[in-house]
Amino acid sequence: MLDISRIKAISLDLDDTLWPIWPTIEKAEKMLHNWLVEYAPMAAALFSSPSALREIRDYMAANRPELKNDLSAVRRESIRLALYRAGENPLLAEQAFEVFFAERQRVTLYDDAHSSLQFLAARFPLVSLSNGNADLERVGIAPSFRAAIA
């Protein structure tokens, strides 16, 4: 039987625990693509398919193993490489990544996630423990957490 008095803190993953991740990523990738169409059309054309995006991320992960645990760095450097391969300005990578990252933070919480977080946070210290790159402040759930480990 669970002795609730022994619980000192609760750690939670974020993606697919508090919101579904793939619809969020798909929207963020679409926003990135739309931005590329306007500011780097050759890169947009070259990397318009999900398989092309996956290939360049896989290439980056394989060739830059020091980045493998930093999803933001992998994504940013993949964009930089895509721009370079397409003959576009690789310095646009920071702006392009920010477009993706801002949309990535626009998550749709599961229906009971917010109320559950409030309930738990009133009783226990909550810590987010994630291999993703969600920003608790930008997502809007930071007040429920005492710490975040990514």
The predicted model gives 27-56 an average pLDDT of: 92
pTM of the model: 0.89
Using pLDDT thresholds of 50, 70 and 90, give the confidence band for residue 1.
Answer: confident
Arithmetic mean of pLDDT over the chain: 94
Task: Find out whether 130 and 15 touch, Cβ atoms under 8 Å.
Answer: yes
For residue 101, give the nearest of 128, 78, 126, 69 by alpha carbon: 78
Q: Is residue 13's pLDDT more than 80?
A: yes
Domain range annotation of the chain: 4-19+109-149, 21-104
Fold assignment, 21-104: Four Helix Bundle (Hemerythrin (Met), subunit A) (1.20.120)
The CATH class of 4-19+109-149 is alpha beta
Using pLDDT thresholds of 50, 70 and 90, give the confidence band for residue 69.
Answer: confident
